[in-house]
Structure 1
């Protein structure tokens, strides 16, 4: 990744991040191959943790790959769901193994805040293809939806090798997805709304998995 790579920046026009290495530290820039020469010279305004400042995109992805969790996340995209970007961004924050887009290949990347550059994303044309992938990968498919017969996620035992499956905003998980899942979990609600935003629900469910299975000592 070069410092002038086209496309949106993570922080829009706000002056966040760090300036040129020499300006910030007053020492010659490092020669480690993980560092990007242009970022060292011009500064790094990307939405990355401090440990990855000035690193190339490939180096960041390679490092995350050594620490990814066995958690997979899938979201149905049959009507250009605007929540997918949020799901991708959250999956990146939790170092999920992959995000699976089911249905339409194109999705609104704005909510991802460029984190899709660091997150493995896999497309499946339909639910059947996703379920085939899960079976071949020994992943337990867990649908997340507020439907009769679902198990409260607050008390459910989420499997370590898990694929959390989310539906679209509004209709929720499709019938094919619900029928193919090995279990369905719901998120406890106490107010008047019938459902939680799909992007928010995905964050809650992913964090439930993190609390159960992640080594919190490796978190930033």
Structure 2
């Protein structure tokens, strides 16, 4: 007799629930054990988050909650800069500013400035790309670009000694403009324009806590930075001391001085003009490194001058003393 049963020596085969008994329903209601935590459920969104955190911790991050916050990376000093705006771009190209790429917005309204920018870029072999306005917004950090931007490589700063050498090769008395605490690139660009206009041989900027030659500086300088040398000093006070030892007269601009710039002597010789920040003026150490500290006389209505304006007035006074 096929199958198991009494007397067959084999266990009887358990019958499956018959239709209508509800057995299938009861089986479906049987418990499956405790629900696993979220990080063990592969379908749960927290599992991928947990795995990401574990990978970060293995990569050297700590397990504290602060380490899980995304870290914002600083912009590298070696990263290229971007000049935005039709006037700024065409003036930079006219001045021969070193550039690698010209970005032009799709379906841009071509005026004379855009046409000239494209023509100069083509003549100089500068790459040209048509991009969306969102791309231009990102490249210029949200500044007004008018549908066009120019990428320039990171600035190649000179050594402070190079500024003296430039004057010596031109058989002229050195005239250097040093910036102390000037953090706005637009002020640097404005000072560069005045320095070039009044015969300075270059700018000196500190390597820390100071504006550098960025896109904003290029834009404000209207291309002047292409022909004016900018040097960078690791320690401004030490560099000023070395200039003094080399025979240069160091004059600082500070509104708290009691000496007017028109009363200063030796402005026609080897000279360094030090411009302080608009808010704080010269720092203590830099002030002590100057041979003389002067002020620009103003009326009682004006509290202070913009760093760019102050530098322009001082350089004009120096040029007046040097005029034959």
How far apart are residue 11 of structure 1 and its match? 7.0
Residues 70 and 214 of structure 1: CA distance in aligned 2, closer, same or farther (over 3 Å): farther
1:134 to 233, 238, 243: 243
Contact between 1:68 and 1:96, CA under 8 Å: does it hold in 2? no
1:204 to 2:285 alignment? no
1:10 to 2:91 alignment? yes
Contact between 1:81 and 1:169, CA under 8 Å: does it hold in 2? no
**Counterparts of 2:112 and 2:172, CA distance in 1:** 30
Q: Which has the higher contact order (CA 8 A, sep 6+)?
A: 1
- Specify the alignment match of 1:50 in structure 2: none
Higher helix proportion, which one? 2
| SS of equivalent to 1:100 | strand
Contact between 1:9 and 1:114, CA under 8 Å: does it hold in 2? no
How far apart are residue 143 of structure 1 and its match? 0.2
**Counterparts of 1:70 and 1:178, CA distance in 2:** 21
How far apart are residue 105 of structure 1 and its match? 6.2
Residues 94 and 187 of structure 1: CA distance in aligned 2, closer, same or farther (over 3 Å): same
- Mark the structure with the bigger radius of gyration: 2
- The normalised TM-score by structure 1 is 0.65
**Counterparts of 1:212 and 1:198, CA distance in 2:** 21
1:164 to 2:270 alignment? no
Q: Which moved more, 1:167-176 or 1:78-87?
A: 78-87
**Counterparts of 1:137 and 1:122, CA distance in 2:** 17
**Superposition RMSD in Å:** 3.2
Written as runs of structure 1 = structure 2, the 5 A alignment for 1:205-220 is 205-215=314-324
Contact between 1:68 and 1:97, CA under 8 Å: does it hold in 2? no
- Specify the alignment match of 2:262 in structure 1: 154
Spell out structure 1 runs of 4+ moving beyond 4 A.
11-15
Residues 11 and 131 of structure 1: CA distance in aligned 2, closer, same or farther (over 3 Å): closer
1:180 to 2:289 alignment? yes
> Unpaired segments of 5 or more residues in structure 2?
1-81, 84-88, 94-110, 117-122, 125-165
Contact between 2:182 and 2:188, CA under 8 Å: does it hold in 1? no
- Specify the alignment match of 1:96 in structure 2: 200
Written as runs of structure 1 = structure 2, the 5 A alignment for 1:109-148 is 109=217, 110-148=219-257
1:70 to 169, 174, 179: 174
| SS of equivalent to 2:91 | coil
The superposition leaves residues 107-133 of structure 1 with CA deviations (integer Å, 9 ceiling, x where unpaired) of 441221121110011111232232134
How far apart are residue 138 of structure 1 and its match? 1.6
Residues 210 and 105 of structure 1: CA distance in aligned 2, closer, same or farther (over 3 Å): same
| SS of equivalent to 2:288 | helix
**Counterparts of 2:315 and 2:239, CA distance in 1:** 19
**Counterparts of 2:303 and 2:172, CA distance in 1:** 34
The number of aligned residues is 167
